[in-house]
Amino acid sequence: MKMSEIHGMRIYSDRAHFIGTIDDAIIDDKEGIVVGFVFGRREGKAISIPYSGLMAIGDIVLAYSKKAEQAGV
């Protein structure tokens, strides 16, 4: 999937809460793989979600809720 296809996608939690819209990708420069996505800024700093925190990418992006991540889902 190309970044141009993902940019602007809406991110929702597994509890159907809107989280944000993908603005950019975070890439591991050594491995050359996507490790997360930026979906906003607060006080000049990027707000991101790790790739491992995502459930699925399709018409929208689904992310695990914090409770599910803490339970190891």
Q: For 26-52, how does the pLDDT look when each residue is reduced to its tens digit (9 = 90+)?
A: 999 999 999 999 998 899 899 999 999
Say what the pLDDT of residue 1 is.
76
Q: What is the CATH number of domain 3-68?
A: 2.30.30.240
Phi, psi of 66 (to 5 degrees): -60, -35
Residue 70 has pLDDT above 60, yes or no: no
What is the CA 38 to chain-centroid distance, rounded? 7
Count of beta carbons in the 10 Å neighbourhood of residue 21: 14
Mean pLDDT of 52-70: 83
| Comparison of pLDDT for 56 and 70, the residue scoring more | 56
Q: Which of 3-12, 49-58, 63-72 has the lowest mean pLDDT?
A: 63-72
- The answer to whether 6 touches 57, Cβ cutoff 8 Å, is yes
Mean pLDDT of 11-36: 94
Give the C-alpha separation, 28 to 59, whole Å: 25
Say what the pLDDT of residue 72 is.
44
